[in-house]
């Protein structure tokens, strides 16, 4: 079993800096009316970026191995949150947007499927507690 470590240090109020095993720092903050200075991303929003980054990395790597040339690639993420505390994400929609020439839907579908069902650990964790759906769009250059 592998162990990961992280540290979160309070800077002021609810403004924090966090660092993980990779050695990189990230800032987190909250709105001013909650004791923050509204200067950085919210901790819960990091979860969305973690999911998007995890699956996007997988998909980009798979398509590169298949020699699919992309002129751009984005993952748009939309999350529905519960109204009651603790407010949690209940549904996340991932929209993969590929731009390039001659991109085949079958290649895109296979790459997304492999990411979501085999490689992306963030998806594997999240799908245990919320619905994750996905769509994709191919834009021809």
Kindly report the three-state secondary structure assignment for every residue of 103-124.
CCHHHHHHHHHHHHHHHCHHHH
Q: Give the torsion through C-alpha atoms of 121, 126, 127, 132, to 10 deg.
A: -100
First to last CA, the chain: 45
Band (pLDDT 50/70/90 cuts) for residue 5 is very high
Band (pLDDT 50/70/90 cuts) for residue 20 is very high
Domains in the chain (CATH in brackets) are: 1-41 (2.20.25), 43-140 (3.30.300.20)
Output the pLDDT for position 125.
97
Output the pLDDT for position 66.
97
Q: What percent of the chain has pLDDT over 90?
A: 100
What are φ and ψ of residue 130, in 5° steps? -155, 160
pLDDT digits (tens, 9 = 90+) for 41-96: 999 999 999 999 999 999 999 999 999 999 999 999 999 999 999 999 999 999 99
Answer whether 90's CB lies under 8 Å from 81's CB: yes
pLDDT digits (tens, 9 = 90+) for 106-115: 999 999 999 9
């Amino acid at each position: 079993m592998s162990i990961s470590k992280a540290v979160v240090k309070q800077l002021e109020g609810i403004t924090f800096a966090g660092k993980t095993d990779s050695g990189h720092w990230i800032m987190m903050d909250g709105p001013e009316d909650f004791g923050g200075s509204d200067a950085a991303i919210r901790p819960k929003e990091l979860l969305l970026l973690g999911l998007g980054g995890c699956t996007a990395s997988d998909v980009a790597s798979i398509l590169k191995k298949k020699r699919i040339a992309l002129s751009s690639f984005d993952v748009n993420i939309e999350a529905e949150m519960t109204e009651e505390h603790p407010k949690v994400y209940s549904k996340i929609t991932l929209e993969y947007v590929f731009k390039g020439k001659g991109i085949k839907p079958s290649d895109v579908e296979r790459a997304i499927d492999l990411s979501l069902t085999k490689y992306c650990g963030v998806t594997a964790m999240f799908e245990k507690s919320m619905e994750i759906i996905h769509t994709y769009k191919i834009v021809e250059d």
